[in-house]
Amino acid sequence: MDLMIEFMTQYGLVAMFLFIILEYACLPLPSEVILPLSGAMVLASGDSIMLAILISIMAGLIGSMICYSIGYTGGNAVIDRMMKKYPSTRKGIESTRQFYAKYATYSVGLGRVIPLFRTYISFIAGITKQRVSTFLLASTLGIAVWNTLLMGLGYWLADEWKNVMGYYDSGKWILLLLGCAVIGLLILKKSRQKEA
């Protein structure tokens, strides 16, 4: 963690860009740390928060496209290999598959702000060969919300960003419940449309 902070302090937006690409490409770098830290670093450096958010969205899209491309070209074999090599990923991957099977396009955008789903949704969208334009649009919307929220928190609470992360750790389950509530509303809406 200290090495990451040092690297970001030294290289600023370039380091932020690289870390966010790697995080969205499913390397074990937590966006819940990288993004608020980036917001705090932007404040300290005097860079524009809007520019930093735009750069973070581009980085998120690049990282997501890496996973989408791997899923698109490798198919289910990639995910199956991942689950075999890392058994702890099975539950998250299977949940994401089910979520995507029900909500396709919506799942890509919504999945960007729901823990567990955000990690695997790009692979699943690639495996199902979702249109790239649809994937990019839904990803852009979800990534923009997530990155803006976390970077904004880091920016406005720069001196307290570690405390913010403590609240996130306890609050991520609230985000998961909110995500489930949204899914429930979508199911209800869809079932009412079928009845009509």
At 1-59, the pLDDT tens digits run: 677 778 888 888 999 999 999 999 988 777 778 888 899 888 888 889 999 999 999 99
| Signed CA dihedral, 3, 158, 61, 74: sign only | positive
Higher pLDDT: 195 or 81? It is: 81
Distance of alpha carbon 62 from alpha carbon 56, whole angstroms: 10
Type of residue numbered 80 = D
Contact 165, 32 (CB under 8 A): yes
Cα 141 to Cα 14, 109, 135, 148, 188: the distances in Å are 23, 6, 10, 11, 23
Residue 82: other Cβ atoms inside 10 A:
18
Diameter of the chain by CA atoms? 60
DSSP class of 116: T
pLDDT of residue 179: 64
pTM of the prediction?
A: 0.77
CB burial readout 163-186, b (16+ within 10 A) else e: ebbeebeeeeeeeeeebeeebeee
Type of residue numbered 12 = G
H or E element in which residue 114 lies: none
Q: What share of the chain is helix, strand, coil (3-state, %, to 5)?
A: 90, 0, 10
Distance of alpha carbon 135 from alpha carbon 154, whole angstroms: 28
With a cut of 60, say whether residue 173 has pLDDT above it.
no
Pair of tokens at residue 34 = 């990288």
Percentage of residues of the chain with pLDDT beyond 70: 84
Higher pLDDT: 177 or 105? It is: 105
